[in-house]
Amino acid sequence: MIPNEAKKRLIQIVGAENYDDTKAGRLVYSYDATPQFQSLPDAVVAPRNTQEVAEIAKICNEYRIPIVPRGSGTNLCAGTCPVEGGIALLFKHMNRILEIDEENLTATVQPGVITLDLMKAVEEKGLFYPPDPGSMKISTIGGNISENSGGLRGLKYGVTRDYVLGLEVVLANGDIIRTGGKLAKDVAGYDLTRLFVGSEGTLGIVTEATLKLIPMPETKQTMLALYQDLEAAARSVSKIIANQIIPATLEFLDQPTLEVVEDYARIGLPTDVKAVLLIEQDGPNEVVERDMKKMADICRSEQAVSVELARSEEEAEALRTARRAALSALARLKPTTILEDATVPRSEIAKMVKAINEIAAKYQLKICTFGHAGDGNLHPTCPTDARNREEMERVEKAFEEIFAKAIELGGTITGEHGVGAMKAPYLEWKLGPAGIAAMKAIKQALDPNNIMNPGKVFAKSTRKRVVVTR
């Protein structure tokens, strides 16, 4: 509950129209795209500028009210679920592209800008902002930064982190700080920019960001390689990289995923093969030609049954859109879709795919696998039904084994979705007690009262998948 005094002061800052504590108003900010998680905020607050955010932080710090910053709520680790209540902080008013600097190749934006809108705006100037999370049509830049979102181009271009040059951040005590700037080089002290990127709103509230842009590649080609053997597809991935080709996109979809994606997209994807690779290269014409030819040869040498180039940009875009929708399309199979985000070094892709299939068989589950094969980031996904408790327990155990296997292969428990509330119980597997302690020390220093998105990253208990409601 928000004390009356605090409520009054919050309304004074943002205005009554930007403060909502009706039951329905709170309920619609009680979830994000994470299956199963749901918890009500005590109020929903929509500030109009950085100064207001700072004032809000001060009040919340004083009254120990949790703050959960929220973009479009598309994240998959319960990062925007207010698991300990407090206020859901919306950025719908702070959604302007402040500047596109063509001399320095940077864009300065407010956190509420939709990722695709930024991409389009810079494209108009012949520039390119590569991070492209699957939900880019609706996800916000602020959310991308907080979760350090990846996407289909991660292999060649990296992830959101690699494009954040500077930030304006409101700290828990209301201080406003600036990190980095329009600079390629900057070693003045600790790299706070990198610290805040991917900190999932637990260290501060990003209120402005300066992003790196690059020139638009000259050309782009897309192809689809089809396989009757899952592991042959995975081997092709390792072999392409080992041949020193870094494609822009190297995506993997297995047969069950293909089927549901085709059911949604209806673009004529083959559904009678065991796996496909969606491969793209961009860059200068001759490089793209050469790389595409080489990759096609590699795929054929690994028993691809067919390798086909997209005939037009429309066709290529349809393929990419279909891939981006894979996760949600899997929800067609069963009422509940549990997806994970295990990542391994790309040389271990084949082993990981094999292990996932064995684990699925062991627990008698259907687990579909797709993902960013090129960067080793896989999304094993289990269509199930939350009402079937017995099966849910098997799902839980299966995924525990999958995470353990990923770590055993030198991988991690999440490659791009974040820890949030969902992976918190497993974080120590990856970091060890000392690693956790180091992170906690940073959190303690910046947010001593633990008001910034509490209940995320660090596990409070061993409790895992539950529907939390306040």
The tokens describing 75, both together, are 């994240």
- 149 within 8 A of 133, measured Cβ to Cβ: yes
- 299 within 8 A of 309, measured Cβ to Cβ: no
Task: Report the alpha-carbon distance of residue 411 to residue 383 in Å, rounded.
Answer: 24
Pick the binder of another protein from 50, 61, 72, 149 (CB under 8 A).
Answer: 72
The tokens describing 319, both together, are 């393929």
| 137 near another protein (CB under 8 A) | yes
| 22 near another protein (CB under 8 A) | yes
Residue number with CB closer to another protein (337 or 369): 337
| 331 near another protein (CB under 8 A) | yes
The tokens describing 60, both together, are 């919340």
Cβ at position 329, least distance to another protein in Å:
4
Nearest to 260 by CA among 317, 339, 330: 330
Pick the binder of another protein from 15, 284, 335, 410 (CB under 8 A).
Answer: 335
Residue number with CB closer to another protein (259 or 302): 259
Total binding residues for another protein by CB under 8 A? Answer: 39
| 27 near another protein (CB under 8 A) | yes
Contact flags string 371-400 toward another protein, x per CB under 8 A = --------------xx--------------
Which one of 71-79, 103-111, 198-206, 234-242 is the stretch in contact with another protein (CB under 8 A)? 71-79
| 48 near another protein (CB under 8 A) | no
| 149 near another protein (CB under 8 A) | no
Cβ at position 242, least distance to another protein in Å:
34
HSE value, Cβ hemisphere, 13 Å, CA-based, for 437: 3
Pick the binder of another protein from 64, 120, 125, 332 (CB under 8 A).
Answer: 332
Nearest to 69 by CA among 94, 35, 51, 106: 94
| 23 near another protein (CB under 8 A) | yes
140 CB neighbour count, 10 Å cutoff: 28
Pick the binder of another protein from 19, 29, 157, 363 (CB under 8 A).
Answer: 29
Cβ at position 107, least distance to another protein in Å:
20
Cβ at position 46, least distance to another protein in Å:
9
Contact flags string 254-293 toward another protein, x per CB under 8 A = ---------xx-----------------------------
Task: Report the alpha-carbon distance of residue 48 to residue 169 in Å, rounded.
Answer: 15
Task: Report the alpha-carbon distance of residue 311 to residue 320 in Å, rounded.
Answer: 14
| 33 near another protein (CB under 8 A) | yes
- 310 within 8 A of 221, measured Cβ to Cβ: yes
Task: Report the alpha-carbon distance of residue 350 to residue 231 in Å, rounded.
Answer: 5
Task: Report the alpha-carbon distance of residue 110 to residue 168 in Å, rounded.
Answer: 10
Contact flags string 159-188 toward another protein, x per CB under 8 A = ------------------------------
At residue 400's C-alpha, the angle toward residues 427 and 77, to 5°, is 55
Pick the binder of another protein from 10, 13, 14, 35 (CB under 8 A).
Answer: 35
Cβ at position 26, least distance to another protein in Å:
9
Nearest to 102 by CA among 122, 116, 88, 119: 122
DSSP 73-114: ---SSSTTS-TT--EEEE-SS---EEEEETTTTEEEE-TT-B
Pick the binder of another protein from 51, 328, 347, 388 (CB under 8 A).
Answer: 328
Residues of the shown chain interacting with another protein in the complex, contacts defined by CB under 8 A: 22-25, 27-35, 72-74, 90, 92-93, 114, 135, 137-139, 263-264, 325-329, 331-332, 335-337, 385-386, 469
